[in-house]
Amino acid sequence: MSAISLSSIVAQPSPTSSAISSNPSSWQKYLAERRLDLGQLKEALQSGDLSGAKAAYNNLVSLGKTDIHQNNPFTLTNRAADFSAIGGALQSGNLSGAQQALAALDSTFKLHPGAESNPAASASESGVNVIA
């Protein structure tokens, strides 16, 4: 499983889900739920709660299956790979590996110098703002 660091990038819906891509409010609802679940995963990993991290990870997998019809809640390749790395680490009981993979995922949400920020996506109470 992978590390997660979430900031302020709004991605467009993937063509993998025609229901979400045809309904922007469904996409926003999906992103909000994913952000909450990802925050729970991050909290569990930071506190060393392996069973809580596994539960949060499984919630994210279920969300992906339900809303975008894939086993991974992330549509961008690099984020999907980091998320899968989190899952692999959790499955083997490697808390440190899951934390590192979460950090890698998190880093994909940081803007590069000179990139414009999306004001709608930058507001986040928990510092975790996962969008794509």
By residue range, what is the domain housing residue 101?
Answer: 21-122
In this predicted structure, what is the pLDDT of residue 111?
A: 66
Phi and psi torsions of 123, nearest 5°: -80, 125
In this predicted structure, what is the pLDDT of residue 27?
A: 87
Per-residue pLDDT at 123 exceeds 50: no
pLDDT tens by residue, 10-37: 344 444 444 555 677 888 999 999 999 9
Q: Could you give the number of structural domains in the chain? A: 1
In a domain, 114, yes or no: yes
Angle at 72 between CA 21 and CA 32, to 5 degrees: 55
In a domain, 51, yes or no: yes
**Contact of 67 with 30, CB cutoff 8 Å:** yes
Two structure tokens written together for 114:
């000179």
Tell me the pLDDT band of 119, cut-offs 50, 70 and 90: very low
Q: What is the rounded average pLDDT for all residues in the chain? A: 78
In a domain, 101, yes or no: yes
Which SS3 state, helix, strand or coil, does residue 3 take? strand
Compute the distance between CA of residue 7 and CA of residue 111 in angstroms, rounded to an integer.
Answer: 8
In a domain, 82, yes or no: yes
In a domain, 85, yes or no: yes
Identity of the residue numbered 31: L
In a domain, 128, yes or no: no
In this predicted structure, what is the pLDDT of residue 9?
A: 37
Per-residue pLDDT at 41 exceeds 80: yes
Q: What is the pTM assigned to this prediction?
A: 0.68
In a domain, 44, yes or no: yes
In a domain, 110, yes or no: yes
Per-residue pLDDT at 124 exceeds 50: no
